[in-house]
Structures are given as structure tokens and as C-alpha cells.
Amino acid sequence: MTSGAPCHIVITGASAGIGRALALAYARTGVALGLVGRDRVRLDECAAACHAQGALVKIGLLDVRDAAAVKTWLDEFDSLHPIDLLIANAGVASTLAGAGDWEGLERTARVVDTNFYGAMHAVLPVVDQMRKRRRGRIAIVASIAALRGMAISPAYCASKAAVKAYADSVRPILRRDGIGMTVILPGFVKTAMSDVFPGDKVFMWSADQAAAHIRRKIDGGSAEIAFPGLLAFGMRLLTLLPPVIADAILDRLSYQPRGKSAN
């Protein structure tokens, strides 16, 4: 596994939110940063801020759903700067606006394709290169929502649960090859994504606070980073309760769509 602080780092979803904060948290002299995102203006702004902190920065204007384009860019970056840390952070949210709303196939597929397959499109090519070197670390951003599904965001919860299950599944396999695996389960972080969430946002952290915590835990080799602690504990506790009781608690927290059903 990577020893010492990583120097060649790729972050997907780096143009805003936690991804941007993580880029700035890692940017320093001697670090080569690969920043992947879809918004050219915000990605350039993030790159400039990281460059001002001394980092060498290469941007990839990519949609993580495009497996071939992501692999090509990652392989090119890795050939110049062998990646010792990948943070697969890109993701989209989806919440039901009310009881009459529903996530159909197209909407569900968009969320799953971005949050799960988009992560795989970044992780798998990098793992191939790390296995040859027998070192490195993969960090995948799931969500505290991966711990228990919520009626207000079915596709999002399912996609993040898949990310966590994948990370937990391959961790022991990758460990044999000298590669660390970290799954990140953020709670509510003050970002554009959380701004549109209609339910109660308890124990909100800033993006900078979250990034500092994530970096500290990754540097310490943590297998799982779930925060804030009280919210993570509460979500784990819900899984031990009878479903009808857990559903009622989530309803009290406004984590179920409101209003009357369209039917």
C-alpha cells in the first residue's frame, strides 16, 4: 500500500462540493493532481486555486458515465504520474419532490449510471495499474444513505449502497495486492447537492471540514470513513429496528415524500 502522503492523486467530481474541497486539501508543492469534472468553468477555477497552492494540475473534462473516455484519460495521466490515490467522488442526487413524484427507469438509470458505474469506470482502470505496482489506495465516496434506504431518494440510496457493498467486497482482495480501499460515507455536507435536499439536514458539516476529516482518515489508512459520528450511529441503529419503526422515524425526520399520491 501507499506509504507516506500520496503525491499523484486523481479526484473525480472535482469541480464543486466535497470534490473541490478535497482537491484544495491535497494541493501542495510536489503533488500532481488530476481533476475530473463536467463543468469547464468551475473545473478551471478549482485547478487555478490548486495551482496557486503549488500543485501541478491536469484537468479532465469528462462525464464519468463515458467509460472509454475516462479510461483513456486515466491511462494517460497514470503514464506521466503513477496514481497512488484515486478518490472516486463524482455523483448526482435525486429526491422525490412529493408523494406524487416517482423515479422511472430513465431517472433511476441516470443516478445509478453516474454514482455506481461512474465510480467503476474510474476505479477499475486505476486498479489495473496499481496492481502492477502493488501499491496505492482507492477511496470511493458513497453516502451515509448507503446504510439504510430512505423513501425520499430511492435511486440515490440504492446506488450508494452498491458503492459501499462493492468497496467492502473487494477490500480484502486488493489488500493482497498491496492496495488499500476506503469507502467514504458522508452525512450532510453544505454543498449545492445538499441545498436541494428537502428533508431535515441534521449535523451539517462544511465542505472544508469534511475534506479535512476525509484526508486525515485516508492518510491514516481507514477502511471506512462515516461522519458525523452520531448520524452514522443512528443510521446503523435503524437497520436493527423493525422496518415499520425505522420507517416511522425517517418519516418524522421528513425523509419520506410529502403530500398525496398521484394515484
Q: Where are the domains of the chain?
A: 8-252
Report the pLDDT value the prediction gives residue 263, as an integer from 0 to 100.
Answer: 47
Q: What average pLDDT is seen over the chain? A: 93
- CA 241-195-42 angle, to 5 degrees, is 130
Low-confidence stretches of the chain (pLDDT < 50) are 2, 263
- d(CA 116, CA 260) in angstroms, rounded, equals 31
| C-alpha cell, 78 | 497514470
156 has catalytic annotation: yes
Are the C-beta atoms of 76 and 138 separated by less than 8 Å?
Answer: no
Domain 8-252 has CATH 3.40.50.720: yes
Report the pLDDT value the prediction gives residue 257, as an integer from 0 to 100.
Answer: 76
| C-alpha cell, 72 | 483513456
Report the pLDDT value the prediction gives residue 3, as an integer from 0 to 100.
Answer: 54
Report the pLDDT value the prediction gives residue 258, as an integer from 0 to 100.
Answer: 67
Amino acid at 44: D
Tens-digit pLDDT profile for residues 186-234: 999 998 777 777 666 778 899 999 999 999 999 999 999 999 999 999 9
Report the pLDDT value the prediction gives residue 23, as an integer from 0 to 100.
Answer: 98
pTM score, two decimals?
0.93
Report the pLDDT value the prediction gives residue 199, as an integer from 0 to 100.
Answer: 65
Report the pLDDT value the prediction gives residue 2, as an integer from 0 to 100.
Answer: 47
Percent of the chain as helix, strand, coil, to the nearest 5: 50, 15, 35
